[in-house]
């Protein structure tokens, strides 16, 4: 078993939820600080989703590059 690939796959799994959580909490905090409920929460959550998906796609592409079994 290749533990390096296993470590890369486990980090890919956490990319999307962590990006969404960061956007969610950042938007919530900024909304409370600036009093703009719920606009910054929505914007930062959507940015977190987009960022997480982009990171997920890049991570999967990097993982599958050069591996003929997964292409």
DSSP assignment of 20-68, as one string? HHHHHHHHHHHHHHHT-TTHHHHHHHHHHHHHHHHHHHHHHHHHHTT-T
Q: What domain range includes position 48?
A: 26-64
- Assigned domain for 4 exists: no
Instruction: Report helix, strand or coil for 16.
Output: helix
What tokens appear for 53 in the block? 């998906």
Taking only the tens of pLDDT, the chain with its 71 residues reads: 688 888 888 888 899 999 999 999 999 999 999 999 999 999 999 999 999 999 999 988 888 886 666 55
Domain count, the chain: 1
Closest-CA residue to 27 (of 47, 1, 6): 47
Q: What is the pLDDT of residue 3?
A: 85
What tokens appear for 45 in the block? 């959550």
pTM value is: 0.81
- Assigned domain for 3 exists: no
- Assigned domain for 38 exists: yes
């Amino acid at each position: 078993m290749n533990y390096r690939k296993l470590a890369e796959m486990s980090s890919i799994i956490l990319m999307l939820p962590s990006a969404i959580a960061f956007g969610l909490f950042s938007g919530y905090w900024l909304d409370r600080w600036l009093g703009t409920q719920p606009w910054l929460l929505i914007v930062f959550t959507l940015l977190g989703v987009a960022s997480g998906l982009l990171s997920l796609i890049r991570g999967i592409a990097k993982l599958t590059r050069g591996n003929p079994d997964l292409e």
